[in-house]
Amino acid sequence: MSGVYDPDSLDGLSQAGDNQNANFDRLLKNFSFSVRKFSGDIKADHISARTWIRKVVRWRRESLRGVDNAEFIAEITRLLHGSAQQLVENIDFTQPAEILGTIQRAFPHQRYQRELVKLIDSGEAFVDCEGPVLTTRLETYIAELEDDVHGLWAIAEAIHKLFSFYWEFLNMPESAITSADLIASIQEIRRRLNNNYMAHAIPFGKMVRSQNPNPKSKTSESNKSPASNAAKTPQKSSGQPSKSSQRRARQKSQLKEVLDKLNKLETAALSTNQSQGKD
């Protein structure tokens, strides 16, 4: 089952009546736990529709052949949410191949690969991801891009940014990159991380912004001079009047002078009127 998944090749997925199993409930729970939910949102799922469908098909053929078609389809539907759930709402599927084919056509693998490469280049594919989770995520993306040379090269560049101590791919031509090479590099990186507690991934792109969502405020605070920071700190009185109290005293004195001048003008005007009245 390589390349883009072909819904028409979904055979052997219907119920096999001669293979009944009394532990179907337990198997269905294990199936749901192993396959997990699918929404079609690349950032939420971290896997493609093709990979998700392969898991479903594997479980059907290996462990759930005796489960009734309607029950198996209902279990698949319960695992769908978001856009994928809306896609199959109010549709009466009678065969597992029908619902799986509908999902694959709606979420083609090549489109998933293009979107994934963009997320890898920007670092967004690794947001909130570190340690063993990060290396496992890288392995997942390698499997998703195994037939995409440009995608594998994007992963190689991401590996170099994340783990600067691993530089083996820098002088390798893009066309020579293989998924096996990248898997081997992840295994070596995991070994080095386990053996050296000082070794760690270096965030890049949107990984950095997600860890520091408001870098400007922190930078502006750190760039302030000690004098400006000291100005915010209340100073103990040293017996000398502060600048603000001196300013208020000057304003009060100026106001008193203005009022005195007004009083003198009013007195002069009043005396003038009185003298004119006598005449």
Give the pTM. 0.67
Which domain does 136 fall in, by range? Answer: 112-207
pLDDT digits (tens, 9 = 90+) for 169-215: 666 777 788 999 899 999 989 988 888 877 788 999 999 876 665 54
Judged against a pLDDT cut of 70, whether residue 161 lies above it is answered with: yes
Q: Do residues 69 and 18 share a domain? A: yes
In 3-state terms the chain splits into helix, strand, coil percentages (rounded to 5) of 65, 0, 35
- Which residue would you say has higher pLDDT here, 92 or 13? 92
Q: Do residues 24 and 98 share a domain? A: yes
Q: Do residues 87 and 154 share a domain? A: no
Of 188, 207, 226, the position where a domain reaches its end is 207
Q: Do residues 79 and 123 share a domain? A: no
Neighbours of 10 (CB within 10 A): 21
Domains held by the chain: number: 2
